[in-house]
Amino acid sequence: MSSEIIQVLKEDGTVSPLFKKETDLTEQDLKKIYETMILTRVYEERSLKLQRSGRIGFYIGCKGQEASHIGSAYALKMDDWVFPAYREPGVLFLRGIALKTMICQMMGNAGDPTMGRQMPCHYSYKEGNNGSVSSPLATQIPHAVGIAYAAKYMKHKIVSLTYFGEGSTSEGDFHTGLNFAAVFKSPVVFICQNNQWAISVPVARQTVSESIAIKAKAYGMPGIKVDGNDVLAMYQVTKDAVERARNGDGPTLIESFTYRLGSHSSSDDAARYRPEGELESWEQKDPIIRFEKYLLSENILTPESIKKIKDDAEEEFTQAVKEAEKVGLPPLETLFTGVYKDMPESLREQMEDLINEQKRLGASEDNSMAFPL
């Protein structure tokens, strides 16, 4: 079961007749998924340029993994919860976050919901039931399990879904989360985006199991390996797992077999450790190109409508950056707010002292937002 790889959309852009007959995805759904994938790709390419030109300090992306996270997140309802790693900006777009808010987060300015308290790309979107990105790997797994267990306890029919990389399966939190979820039949879906690399460490140095999916067997839950560059398979497999969870049948582990086409982050250069030819062979499997072939062959999109979707995404990004760059830095007092509902007197005194000190010395004139990395 766990080593067979599920695929619906073949690399030539054709799909199995059975999927076509049985899928509940409408043309409108397919367009929405495609538009979100394009916005996510444009977001990546343009954000890297912002980083290289010193307008944001750091970027961590998902090029090549758009089908994996957008296809799967499309299977959720809006009141379900997502606990992300850091390679899932498309989930936030699907859940309705404003592009400007994402850019403000990367700039750490006053438009950032976390007021610059997080690293760039460590998004948080409470209104969209999207938990905050955490820097320490795999900590989101117990968070997702906890909320799923709480929902079950309170008889709320929601499902919680969490993303993590294959490197994160070497963390204790992976074991703790999967074991607890299986024992207490919590409504959670685990998606391991196996993109082959944990920074410069290849998957062969994480595990000698024949797959990530097979690990599910020992926890007593289904484990499914799926072609992560196949957006339709990602949707279908996740939908089945979400339904299973919602019906009270417990968790599922999904291994999305994919590849990181970019470097680990803007601070990394993957050319230093990738074997020759590996990137080129995966570029042939680009999930956006594959989906485009399907949409064109089905006349759901035309070359003209594809161009318009891409141009609109570029324009949307340009406008959002313009607006985000007008937003100032978070006010000094936000260093003290956001912890207590009613601020304790001792903290208030410290805040006032600091504000007075700022008045006495003047505010920093370094407005570059340069990130100290």
Ligand X SMILES: Cc1ncc(C[n+]2csc(CCOP(=O)(O)OP(=O)(O)O)c2C)c(N)n1
Q: For binding to ligand X (CB under 6 A), which residues are involved?
A: 85, 87, 135-137, 164-168, 195, 197-199, 260, 264
Helix, strand or coil for residue 255? strand
Q: Give the DSSP H/E element, type plus range, for residue 183.
A: helix 172-183
Check if the beta carbon of residue 82 is closer than 8 Å to that of residue 76: yes
State the minimum distance, in angstroms, from the CB of residue 268 to ligand X.
10
Closer CB to ligand X, residue 214 or residue 327? Answer: 214
Choose, from 264, 274, 290, 294, the residue flagged as catalytic. Answer: 264
Nearest to 131 by CA among 143, 146, 114, 115: 143
Q: Are 238 and 75 in contact (CB under 8 A)?
A: yes
Least Å distance between CB 119 and ligand X?
10
- Active site annotation includes 264: yes
Question: 260 catalytic, yes or no?
Answer: yes
- In the complex, which residue's CB is closest to ligand X? 165
Sheet with 5-6: list strands edge to edge: 5-6, 223-227, 252-257, 188-194, 160-165, 81-83
Residue reference for tokens 């610059």:
116
The answer to whether residue 175 is catalytic is no
For every residue of 65-81, DSSP letters joined together read -HIIIIIHHTTS-TTSE
Residue 319, token pair as written in the block? 């406008």
C-alpha pair distances (Å), 359 with each of 331, 334, 345, 354, 356: 13, 16, 21, 9, 5
Judged by beta carbon, residue 87 or residue 143, the one nearer ligand X is 87
Q: CA 123, CA 56: separation in Å to the nearest integer?
A: 14
Measured from the CB atom, the residue of 101 and 193 that comes closer to ligand X is 193
- Catalytic residue, chosen from 95, 175, 246, 273, is 273
Nearer CB in complex with ligand X: 122/152: 122
Cβ nearer to ligand X, comparing 133 with 231: 133
Indicate which residue of 55, 143, 244, 260 is catalytic: 260
Question: Which residues belong to the active site?
Answer: 260, 264, 273
